[in-house]
């Protein structure tokens, strides 16, 4: 009897303990996963930015983190401020105490549906929060500024779902698999971040749909909530820039200036771009990132920005918001110079180039007293619009779509030459442009016939996904390979006038004119003008001691399409 009685009493105690435990847990604040996110944005050697979208403006969002590789406790919860102006999006800059360059952290984030105070948990300490259903992710801090560490990043653009929605996940499923494989590798063999160079959404994917604010809202929610996309974004610092389809096809600020496209589209497009993309990277702190902007012809946030990874430097150009190109300029009715970059952005870009060259200042045509001590430093310039080669509209039907040459840098005659001359005359080495837009991937090399030391590249990587997925896009004949970029195949015009139209067709093969730029398709050890990739794909770029390796992978199955080392 004694044994049976003890067993009964022990069972009663266990039941009571279970009830007590259940009662205690019911008093906890239960977190829910964000509606979208988390995503990692701006990252440095001492901290990182986390982005989330909550369900409602009154939701309270919390994050905690700890260093990986040890048995350390999670930090106390930090609250993320939600912006009602920006679709209930919130960002926070996490600055761990004692963080060291290249440290890795894990984090958890979620929101409270019902933030009323619990009687047994008046404070939001970790023990009073139930983190079981919170979202989680990992991040690795960047190397120290100037460190000669390896830099490895994913690069691509153009993520359209169209009517084949499932296909839109294929490429990011392959990137996710690549990251999972890299978990077995040494730290310096892992991908550090991802650059997405425009058309992260296709607002105008359905030509029959009106571009209302609800259309922008629904498209962003659909695109950014995809499983594989969010998985990658929760682990890799993400650097984005808009192109045209975030607003409407082939837009420029010059077109909106005369209300040719409808300013309601511009204001809606800017608002959602700033909420979902720009807030990842802009501003010195999280508060600045979600500070409401004034929208209009010229009033908008400064979208361009720069960042470093170790010694390698990046400048992300905004090729739309300052773009003044209009049909009136092309026809000669408007005598103003068409530009892709506004005056303030062009100056900021040149200043960045000169700072990297250890210059004492920016001159009219080149950097002042350049010190070439940074010859091993690679300067990456993200330009969503390809800088070279120019696109063409061939006379025969060789592509499913035309090349829209005047929508790109080929439509800004003087400015492109001014920038290329500035780089060349300043003797800035190891310059690589990164572009998208054209639904085709390749590497283009630019040289100068009278300056044998000048050589720069444009890596074009597009699309992550296009709705057809059948390689129907710009073809070889749509590009001005092996010819001089068209606007540089003549003496520079003193102003934009009708002489431009007379110069368009005067393309001559490289080598027939002295003193001009020459563009070729670059692959492996020699130019191969016919080697372009038109299917869904992405690229990975690796920099080790100033040497740049570019790889293109199929989005469908991850197979390697091309592996090339740039020759500086």
DSSP 255-304: HHHTTSS-HHHHHHHHHHHHHHTGGGT-SSSHHHHT-----SSS-S----
Strand partners, 59: none
Tell me the CATH number at 88. Answer: 2.60.40.10
User: 121 and 155 share a domain?
Assistant: no
127 and 262 share a domain? no
Check whether residue 133 and residue 161 sit in a common domain.
no
Domain assignment present for 113: yes
Q: Exposure string (b/e) for 298-322, b if CB count within 10 Å is 16 or more?
A: eebbbbbbbbbbbbbbbbbbbbbbb
Convert the pLDDT of each residue in 230-277 to its tens digit: 999 999 999 999 999 999 888 888 777 766 667 788 889 999 999 999
How many domains are contained in the chain?
A: 2
CATH assignment at residue 358: 3.60.21.10
Q: Do 95 and 166 reside in the same domain of the chain?
A: no
* 119 shares its domain with 182: no
| Same-domain pairing of 69 and 96 | yes
Under the banding of pLDDT at 50, 70 and 90, the label for residue 499 is: very low
For residue 368, the cross-strand partners are 361
Q: What is the pLDDT of residue 496?
A: 36
Q: Which residues pair with 159 in a beta bridge?
A: 465
The arithmetic mean of pLDDT across residues 120-147, rounded, is: 86
pLDDT at 505: 43
pLDDT at 258: 64
* Residues 158 and 134 reside in one and the same domain: no
Quote the pLDDT of residue 10.
55
Residues 125 and 43 in one domain: yes
Q: Do 168 and 253 belong to one domain? A: yes
Q: pLDDT by residue (tens digit) across 40-66?
A: 999 999 999 999 999 887 788 999 999
Note whether residue 355 is domain-resident: yes
- 161 close to 465: Cβ distance less than 8 angstroms: yes
Is residue 306 within 8 Å of residue 321, measured between CB atoms?
Answer: no
With vertex at residue 412, the alpha carbon angle to CA 408 and CA 416, rounded to the nearest 5 degrees, is 95
The residues, ordered by sequence, that sit 6+ positions from 447 with a Cβ below 8 Å of its Cβ are: 454, 455, 517, 518, 520
Biggest distance spanned by C-alpha atoms of the chain? 110
21 in a structural domain: no
Residue span of the structural domain in which 199 resides = 151-565
pLDDT digits 0-9 by tens, 85-119? 899 999 999 999 999 999 999 999 999 876 555 55
Cα distances (angstroms) measured from residue 233 to each of 19, 62, 82, 369, 464: 40, 19, 20, 41, 15
Shared domain for 203 and 76, answered yes or no, is no
Task: Report if residue 555 sits inside a domain.
Answer: yes
- Kindly state whether residues 123 and 272 are assigned to the same domain: no
Q: What distance in Å separates the CA atoms of residue 414 and residue 392, rounded to the nearest whole number?
A: 19
**What rounded mean pLDDT belongs to the chain?**
83
The last residue of one of the domains, among 78, 107, 140, is: 140
Least confident range of 191-200, 352-361, 432-441, 528-537:
528-537
344 with 424, same domain: the answer is: yes
Whether 145 is covered by a domain: the verdict is no
| pTM for the whole structure | 0.89
Which of 140, 165, 190 terminates a domain? The answer is 140
């Amino acid at each position: 009897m004694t044994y049976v009685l003890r067993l009964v009493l022990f069972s009663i105690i266990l039941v009571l303990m279970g009830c007590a435990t259940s009662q205690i847990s019911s008093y906890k604040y239960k977190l829910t996963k964000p509606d979208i996110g988390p995503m990692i944005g701006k990252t440095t050697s001492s901290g990182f930015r986390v982005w989330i979208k909550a369900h409602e403006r009154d939701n309270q969002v919390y994050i905690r983190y700890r260093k990986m590789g040890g048995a350390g406790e999670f930090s106390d919860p930090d609250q993320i401020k939600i912006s009602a102006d920006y679709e209930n999006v919130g960002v926070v800059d996490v600055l761990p105490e004692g963080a060291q360059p290249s440290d890795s952290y894990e984090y958890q984030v979620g929101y409270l549906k019902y933030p009323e105070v619990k009687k047994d948990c008046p404070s939001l300490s970790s023990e009073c929060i139930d983190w079981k259903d919170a979202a989680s992710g990992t991040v690795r801090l960047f190397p120290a500024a100037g460190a000669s560490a390896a830099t490895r990043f994913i690069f691509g653009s153009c993520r359209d779902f169209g009517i084949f929605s499932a296909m839109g996940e294929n490429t990011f499923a392959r990137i996710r698999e690549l990251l999972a494989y890299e978990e077995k590798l040494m730290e310096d063999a892992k991908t550090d971040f991802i650059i997405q160079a425009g058309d992260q959404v296709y607002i105008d994917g359905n030509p029959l749909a009106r571009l209302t604010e609800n259309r922008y809202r629904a498209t962003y929610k659909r695109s950014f909530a995809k499983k594989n996309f969010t998985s990658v974004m929760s682990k890799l610092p993400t650097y984005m820039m808009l192109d045209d389809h975030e607003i409407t096809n082939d837009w420029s600020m010059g077109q909106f200036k005369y209300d040719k496209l409808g300013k309601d589209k511009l204001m809606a497009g800017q608002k959602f771009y700033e909420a979902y993309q720009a807030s990842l990277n802009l501003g010195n702190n999280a508060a600045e990132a979600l500070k409401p902007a004034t929208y209009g012809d010229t009033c908008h946030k400064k979208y361009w920005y720069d960042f470093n990874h170790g010694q390698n430097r990046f400048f992300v150009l905004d090729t739309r918001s300052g773009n003044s190109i209009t049909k009136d300029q092309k026809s000669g009715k408007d005598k103003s110079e068409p530009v892709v970059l506004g005056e303030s952005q062009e100056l900021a870009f040149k200043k960045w180039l000169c700072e990297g060259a250890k210059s004492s200042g920016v001159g009219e045509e080149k950097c002042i007293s350049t010190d070439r001590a940074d010859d091993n430093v690679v300067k990456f310039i993200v330009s969503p619009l390809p800088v070279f080669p120019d696109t063409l509209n061939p006379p025969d039907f060789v592509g499913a779509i035309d090349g829209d040459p005047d929508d790109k840098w080929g439509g800004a005659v003087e400015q492109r030459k001014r920038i290329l001359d500035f780089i060349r005359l300043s003797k800035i080495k190891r310059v690589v442009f990164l572009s998208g837009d054209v639904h085709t991937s390749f590497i283009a090399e630019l040289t100068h016939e009278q300056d044998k030391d000048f050589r720069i590249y444009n890596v074009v990587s597009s699309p992550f996904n296009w709705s057809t997925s059948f390689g129907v896009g710009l073809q070889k004949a749509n590009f001005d390979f092996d010819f001089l970029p068209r606007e540089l195949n003549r003496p520079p015009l003193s102003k934009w006038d009708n002489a431009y139209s007379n110069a368009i067709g005067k393309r001559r093969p490289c080598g027939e004119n002295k003193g001009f730029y020459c563009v070729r398709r670059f692959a492996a050890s020699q130019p191969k003008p016919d080697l372009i990739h038109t299917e869904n794909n992405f690229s990975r770029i690796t920099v080790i001691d100033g040497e740049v390796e570019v790889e293109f992978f199929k989005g469908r199955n991850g197979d390697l399409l091309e592996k090339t080392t740039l020759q500086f």
